[in-house]
Amino acid sequence: MFSLETLQQTLSALGSTVWITLMLTLGAGIVSLIAGSISVSAQLGGGWVGLFASRAYVSVMRGTPLLVQLLVLSYGLPLLGIRVPPILAAILAIGLNSGAYTTEILRGGVLAIAPGQIEAAKMVGLSRFAIWRRVVLPQAMANSLPMLVAEFSIILKSTPLASIISVTEMTYAGVLIQARSFSSLDVFLPIAAAYVAIFYAFTMLAVWLDRQLAPMRG
């Protein structure tokens, strides 16, 4: 049932939706890193209030399905009078969900830093904030890089969920073609290849980053 026509339609749909998938993935990745950094900072240096808030955030995000979070965020916010474009709602929902896992990944990275370094930083007179921002967090990220790459791949593979709030990304574009052509392989093989290509490109970036960060690793 392989048809050149279906393949052409798929490639053209990929051309227009690969940007949506990239935007969702990079956007959610950035939200995840920011949310994870803030949350791990609160957990390890924010007193009991910070600890509680961070734990609550991680529990809520890890304890509910991403699908539910997506629906709550995109249909709950308008009820509060906040209107956001669907793609932004999807980026926020996927990013905040992933941020909970990033919190735990970064926590591992922070705990791996030798305590002597922090003592040394105190000795040279750095403030608590400066120690956190210049000594602890960068090394935590460097330590956690392999886990963060894995988390990024999960973000990439979560993006098709955005189709339930009217964001047509690569997978749903394929579903639309499949529904009229009744063929699957010539639609979803190119789409699978596009996901692999995105992930591979990101892995290459991570390898490069890993080399840059190597001297920082504690």
DSSP 133: I
Of 183, 199, 193, 197, residue with least CA distance to 9: 183
Q: Is 40 in the site for other proteins (CB under 8 A)?
A: no
Candidates 75-83, 109-117, 141-149, 207-215: pick the segment binding other proteins (CB under 8 A). Answer: 75-83
108 is a contact residue toward other proteins (CB under 8 A): no
Asked if 13 is part of the footprint of other proteins (rule: CB under 8 A), the reply reads yes
Based on the shown chain and the rule CB under 8 A, indicate whether residue 185 belongs to the binding site for other proteins: no
- Alpha helices for the chain (secondary structure H): 4-45, 47-63, 66-76, 86-111, 115-123, 128-130, 137-158, 170-181, 185-213
Q: What is the nearest approach in angstroms of other proteins to the Cβ of residue 140?
A: 17
Interface residue with other proteins, options 4, 80, 123, 214 (CB under 8 A):
80
Of 79 and 214, which CB lies nearer to other proteins in the complex structure?
79
Q: Is 30 in the site for other proteins (CB under 8 A)?
A: no
Separation between Cα atoms, residue 30 and residue 32, nearest integer Å: 5
Q: In the bound complex, what is the minimum distance in angstroms from residue 77's beta carbon to other proteins? A: 6
Please report how close the Cβ of residue 49 comes to other proteins at its closest, in angstroms: 9
Instruction: Compute the distance between CA of residue 186 and CA of residue 6 in angstroms, rounded to an integer.
Output: 7
- Measured in whole angstroms, the distance separating CA 93 from the mean position of its chain's CA atoms is 10
Candidate residues 79, 123, 124, 214; the one interacting with other proteins per rule CB under 8 A: 79
Nearer to other proteins, 24 or 142 (CB): 24
Closest to 74 in 3D by CA, of 57, 56, 91, 99:
91
List the one residue out of 6, 23, 1, 3 whose CA is nearest residue 170: 23
Task: Count how many residues are written for the chain.
Answer: 218
The binding site for other proteins (CB under 8 A) comprises 5, 9, 13, 35, 38-39, 41-42, 46, 50, 53, 56-57, 60, 67, 71-80, 82, 96, 163-168, 172, 175-180
